Chain A
């Protein structure tokens, strides 16, 4: 079974600074996807960034980037130039890549990190 661990329940950062959120996971699978989702007070989960395990290059989306270390099973999220609107819960999630006729693409989430961006 796969597990996802986020060891930082809460973090805070000053506006315009950089913050890194940690995520580790445990799996015996070789093909999978990793995601970071943001959940603001509106409750809707919003995809921030995704990484395919077979790609060595770290994913980047504007101010958001990841440090994917497959051997260490680590997937951290870096937010640069933090903005007040980045305040939210951040969830790291794992999804096993579907085998032909195999399992569905369900997400396995960590417990989340509450990020507060201070003015």
Chain B
């Protein structure tokens, strides 16, 4: 059974720091991995999707990597801003999308 875990569960950093969010999954047989952000009381916004054949994807200040064989993905956020404060979710696609437990990020000025 696929399980997805995210570490840390919560993170509080000062503005400007570079940070890394971690996602691990137990079964490497995935088609892709997707990173989302969720703002309080809002829906999910897709940030990046990495296909199983890819090693990384970049969008602006965000870079996501995927190491399928070790069951890990990281989301790197460069030069963090208060507007980055949200919960970040990773999800792996097998025959359905399976979500991780989330990392709640707070960036303070």
Q: A and B, one complex? A: no
